[in-house]
Amino acid sequence: MALQDTWTKKDLTGIADLTRAEIEFLFTQADGFLPALAPGKGLDLMRGRTVVNLFLEPSTRTRTAFEISAKKLGAEVVSINTTASSLVKGETLRDTAENIRAMGVDAIVMRHSSAGAARYLGKALDISVINAGDGAHEHPTQALLDAFTLRKHFGKLQGLKVTILGDILFSRVARSNILCLSKLGAEVTLAGPATLVPAALQEAFPQVRIIHDLKEALTDCDAVMLLRIQHERQTTTHFPSLAEYTSQFGLNAERAAWLKPNTIVMHPGPINRGVEVESEVADGPRSVILEQVHNGVAVRMAVLHLCTRAISR
């Protein structure tokens, strides 16, 4: 059954703003873009358009994925890498963005250390704004590519049990995934140390289950999503040391044996090998980490196409 084309949004600032129908329509678009990922292939849906990657926080993977996605659609891409703090010294975000817009740009893909920054920019500008991560708020394209990958593996997300393990408190990936997976009918379990998976998350996201016992969190799930332990965000008060984290919550082969046979292991990258996951698991048969990366390009192509199309319509 062909899904109805319901997409009218010029921005993608968070999963919170999307309906299930919009997400599913976006997936059909992404499906259609997968063949274009082959070497030597590409499309010209965005020929003549310009996308600016405004990355105000360090990122290689997401920025590259967005660049490739835009190029596969035939768009021109300019990437700006700086830090929000150096921006603040001279110019406000609004001024920077309005200058970029004045140069005739069609879309800004932004990563920013401040939660809410993408929504702020989306309201300020009449061109597309795509959130590539705003502080600890959302990272919507990551969640979309994760859900897209799960859908490829299991056919549907309805009733699927997904455990998200690690630093939930500071993670935008976790927030977007909680929202995205729930909207698509999956059951989400959050696991990790109590300081990084505080009880108040239950109130914020009533649909999730919170578990601090690793074995219990792993035995029943269809997929486990590992989150990067971010040294730069956690102060020493949230857990004693990386070694302590690994000893309590790191995923190694022994613990992976608790998983059901068909359970897959996901990670948004970049991986801290030996911290949240051992290489034998990251590179093992359960791992779909590189599939996630591959699908990420198709999903971001769909996002760029649909959002910029919404303006020309």
Contacting residues toward other proteins, per CB under 8 A? 16, 84, 88, 92-94, 112-117, 119-120, 134-138, 169, 172, 175, 198, 200-201, 203-205
Minimum Å distance from CB 88 to other proteins?
Answer: 6
Minimum Å distance from CB 44 to other proteins?
Answer: 35
- The smaller minimum CB distance to other proteins, of residues 34 and 80, is found at 80
- The smaller minimum CB distance to other proteins, of residues 77 and 201, is found at 201
Minimum Å distance from CB 280 to other proteins?
Answer: 33
Q: What is the C-alpha to C-alpha distance for residues 157 and 278, in angstroms, rounded to an integer?
A: 27
Minimum Å distance from CB 114 to other proteins?
Answer: 4
Minimum Å distance from CB 268 to other proteins?
Answer: 16
Nearest to 209 by CA among 238, 175, 185, 178: 178
Q: Which residue has tokens 């040294």?
A: 231
- The smaller minimum CB distance to other proteins, of residues 107 and 117, is found at 117
Contacts of 114 (CB under 8 A, 6+ apart): 84, 134, 135
Tokens of 50: 């310009």
Count of C-beta atoms within a 10 Å radius of residue 156:
11
- The smaller minimum CB distance to other proteins, of residues 157 and 210, is found at 210
Could you give the C-alpha distances from 145 to 82, 95, 99, 251, in angstroms and in order? 26, 32, 31, 22
Q: What is the C-alpha to C-alpha distance for residues 309 and 293, in angstroms, rounded to an integer?
A: 24
- The smaller minimum CB distance to other proteins, of residues 203 and 232, is found at 203
